[in-house]
Structure 1
Amino acid sequence: MSVPAVGTPVPDAIEPMLEQAGLGGFGVQPVWVNQAGGWTVAVLGPDRRPQWYAKWNPLSSGESLARERERLTWLQPRHPVPEPVGYDCDEAQELLITRAVAGRSAVSPRWRRRPDVALAALGRGLRRLHQLPVEDCPFEWGTETRLAGRDVADLLGADEPSIDRLVVCQGDPCAPNTLLAEDGGFLAHVDVGRLGIADRWADLAVMTLSMSWNYPTFDESVFWSAYGVEPDPQRIDFYRRLWQAEDQG
């Protein structure tokens, strides 16, 4: 992900889709651009503050906002996430609109300057998600689902470790996908299009990997203490390999 420079125009396709959703004429502010070519924009209310967020993907991106809407809808009564309020799709693109949550990304400048606060919130937030009953979750994110029949050892050069604990995983647990409240506490998770049942280390391995991308300095032990587990090097290595293999192909 990257933050667009101030003044960067959004793709021409976004404005007509916002108009069709009844949000035409509101100010639009770019927030994120991802590696797959998708955009997230803030739709501003009369006070010039974000009132909604709109995610736009070309269908060629390989991501699915329909899948994310389905997961947000399931999570809404169970765990803090943005409320989905609109979705549209045509033969080339899709748009998902959610109501704004009054918080800041864990990698906003404020929390990058206070990494201990951010890492503690990341740990508590992920632990809270992982405490959801797995029997209620209709989504899968296990290794077999992710590899779609490809051989684990051939692809990753390592055998899959035994399952430690099956939980409802966030699926894209990088630090930017956690929102913090003004007091630094965990507020909500975003970008849950891959959410599903998997070993908790599938989330933990990637969350801790993402810290090195987002914080100039940090003490990883703060995260492990807040989550409440000791690092497992074998499982961390395996699930990082799996994540990186997905990114490459």
Structure 2
Amino acid sequence: MKMTEVSFDIETVPSTIRYYLKNATFYDSSCSDNAKTVFVKGADGAFLKISKKGSLEREYRMSNFLSTHKVAPKVFAYESDLENDYLLSEAVSGEDGTSELYIENPNKLASVFGEYLSMLHSLPTEGCPYKNRTAEELNELTNKEASLNILTEINYSAIDDVIIHGDYCLPNIIMDNFSFKGFIDLGYGGIGDRHYDIYWGIWTLNYNLKTDNYKDIFLDAYGRSKIDRDGLTYFTQLIKLCD
């Protein structure tokens, strides 16, 4: 995770957020055009994410939920003003899955990446604030009858029965020497079908490792008995249709 020290005017954020920023040093760690992310180096490390109003509520609620299961950073504060949302979360120790240490050990990376996804999918769903992720995805296709026909041709009925990350990619898992520390960027999470995350896990290993040679290690570590081939085909097509 690249960080560049920057100046930051704490008077530009809501007062409840400002409280945590006093006497801190700031580093830009943004990795998306949709949000600005600042590492706050003070007595306790934190990350401040700033994005347009209403865009971070889901991430706040999912992070709050998953932090109770100790798999996501604790949320210190969530506030909005007329233009923006502000989400301040603890900084867990470690590096994301794209760090050099992990990329240079692809076999182990693919294995633990599968294990940690299986762990996420084994969490209890009670209390999760978002319960119908597949329906949300399908709603994007309501005006695309031809696209929906493609899905009905696949012999699979999606089952929203596990907690999914929603963007299960290597930058969104934090580890310390391969030891799990937390999931981040949870704004697409909720109760969904496991094959949605499995698809993205395969995609990110292929993208970040520049090869699909580690797909089988990932799937073996996740647990082949829990994977339906038609389910993976279904979500592969669904994701491609939504793009």
TM-score range, shorter-chain basis? 0.7 to 0.9
Shift of 1:137: 2.9
Q: Note if contact 1:141-1:194 (Cα within 8 Å) is conserved in structure 2.
A: no
Residue 211 of structure 1 corresponds to: 205
Structure 2, unaligned runs of 5 or more = none
TM-score, scaled relative to structure 2: 0.83
Q: Note if contact 1:122-1:186 (Cα within 8 Å) is conserved in structure 2.
A: no
Residue 239 of structure 2 corresponds to: 243
Given candidates 24, 36, 40, the residue that maps to 1:39 is 36
| Poorly superposed stretches of 4+, deviation over 3 Å | 6-10, 12-15, 149-153, 230-234
Shift of 1:144: 1.4
Residue 96 of structure 2 corresponds to: 105
Cα distance in 1 for partners of 2:89, 2:200 equals 25
- 1:84-121 deviation digits (Å, cap 9, x = unpaired): 00122112111101011011101112111112222222
> Does 1:144 pair with 2:132?
no
Residue 64 of structure 1 corresponds to: 55
Given candidates 230, 234, 237, the residue that maps to 2:230 is 234
Cα RMSD (Å) of the superposition? 2.9
> Does 1:131 pair with 2:128?
no
Q: Note if contact 2:134-2:158 (Cα within 8 Å) is conserved in structure 1.
A: no
Cα distance in 2 for partners of 1:13, 1:78 equals 34
Q: Note if contact 1:28-1:44 (Cα within 8 Å) is conserved in structure 2.
A: yes
Greater relative contact order structure (CA < 8 Å, 6+ sep)? 2
Amino acid across the alignment from 2:27: Q
Alignment of 1:106-121 (within 5 A): 106-121=97-112
Identity %: 24
Residue 188 of structure 2 corresponds to: 194
Cα distance in 2 for partners of 1:8, 1:216 equals 31
> Does 1:172 pair with 2:164?
no
Shift of 1:165: 7.1
Change beyond 3 A, Cα 1:221–1:87: same
Structure 1, unaligned runs of 5 or more = none
